[in-house]
Chains A and B, each alone.
Chain A
């Protein structure tokens, strides 16, 4: 056979094979590129939503305390709205707008300091009277209609039940807890909160000793703004500076927002700062109260759900046990010092239990939201 015949036959055999392989690998590469592109867009969109929430929170100011509860809900809803606007714009080129993409987003979870919001689709249910008498046919939301909205705030809380104690403890993202319930067999109702701080000793001379360091009141705080030194006081996390050249002097306190000075009218007085001393003193007193309630003996096995059934454990997607409430040993959750590990350490029993409770609460409620989404959308997520 001539060489040309062999060459042609070789090409006829190899060319289709290489074309098919090439097409297959191109498809794999395009898939990976698309995944990366979607991930990047989702990251940008999530960043936008959080940035909007941050700007709304800052711009709403701290002076209007009467609206602070509603303000948080509105900030979250505005951030969710911004998320969908942003995602609609990011995918606009491929033909999806925000309304279409809403159907592909099962839930948004906004985790806050001591709880979280879930923004997800749910079925709007109305009682008969409302459905028949109060709403016209052109009302915004009808009964049985699929609505996407913010569900009520859910705290990172867990119920603990023993023979004499029945309390709900709400955790936060740091070591602050809230305790509500009954102790001493139901005869004493408690509603308390505080920080869990170890190794604090309150001294008689209005000082505290924390980890060997003595903390008392300190002189007036001051800080440079530009090249000028200003005295300041921190109220609710906001620094108020004193402008000694401003008149009248009682209105000379200002805060900085977006590079601008916003002067405040009101009574703030200069003086020594004892906030640190009071912080540790209250933490030491809170520890004594926890001991008097008998809560220092609580174990993970005492954790129950809202029906009083013992919590079992948390497993990951592969079925591995991440945290076992029942068989995690007899360690006490609020052990301030256990084997040299302080309650404030990330490896402490308290911290691992706190993380487990937060994860358990989020997973439970998120699975309900996803189940509603699956029912409504017909998809399995």
Chain B
């Protein structure tokens, strides 16, 4: 009886050591690679928008596809803070030509997507100007294999915890054109 139990324990341990741990290790590496890819692509996307002053649906779609190629699903959030040059909204001392001391108003993901891909209309180009602020945040929404395996041992509370995330933002340095 004792021999049987110890044999079963040995087989279970062997199975865990030979299959589960290597699988966990490989899935962690896969997540690391996905993280690196997402970080790189997010940085490239935001820097492209910042340095050209233009955001098109083609750019956004290409970005979506490049991060989806990692095999995970992602939630992309964009924020555009537009430098407001409306004199009525200026503070008493602010100079509207000075970036950093004036009023901004924000546009978020759905508003940006409505602008570059309006429903029932042709795709448009969102042109930005010097001094505007653009940022993008990407978080994964699916449960990766590494998360599934680690959940056997411990569970991270909260349904919206993410493993792969990247964000990048910065000031726009060029006035975009519509063409």
Contacts and interface: CB of A to CB of B under 8 A. Distances in A.
Q: Chain B CB within 10 Å — which of A11, A74, A89, A93 has the most?
A: A89
A85 B99 CA distance: 11
B100 A8 contact: no
B23 interface: no
Nearest to A47: B170
B171 A48 contact: yes
Interface string A1-32: 01011011001000100000000000000000
A81 interface: yes
Chain A interface helix/strand/loop/mixed: helix
Bin the interface of chain B by size. 20 to 34
Interface stretch (A53-61, A272-280, A353-361, A369-377): A53-61
B115 interface: no
B40 to A, nearest CB: 12
Contacts of A81: 100-101
A180 interface: no
Interface in B154-179: 165, 167-171, 173, 175
A90 B167 CA distance: 7
Contacts of A93: 137, 165, 167
Contacts, number: 75
A51 interface: yes
Interface residues of A, number: 31
Nearest to A61: B97
A74 B98 contact: yes
B175 A8 contact: no
B4 to A, nearest CB: 10
Nearest to A58: B130
Contact of A55 (B10, B95, B131, B135): B131
Given A4-B7, A8-B9, A51-B171, A89 B100 contact: no
Nearest to A14: B17
A56 B10 contact: no
B3 A56 contact: no
Given A4-B6, A8-B6, A85-B133, A56 B169 contact: no
Given A89-B169, A258-B175, 16 more contacts: A2-B3, A4-B3, A5-B6, A7-B10, A7-B14, A11-B13, A15-B17, A48-B170, A60-B97, A74-B95, A75-B98, A78-B100, A81-B101, A86-B133, A90-B167, A90-B168
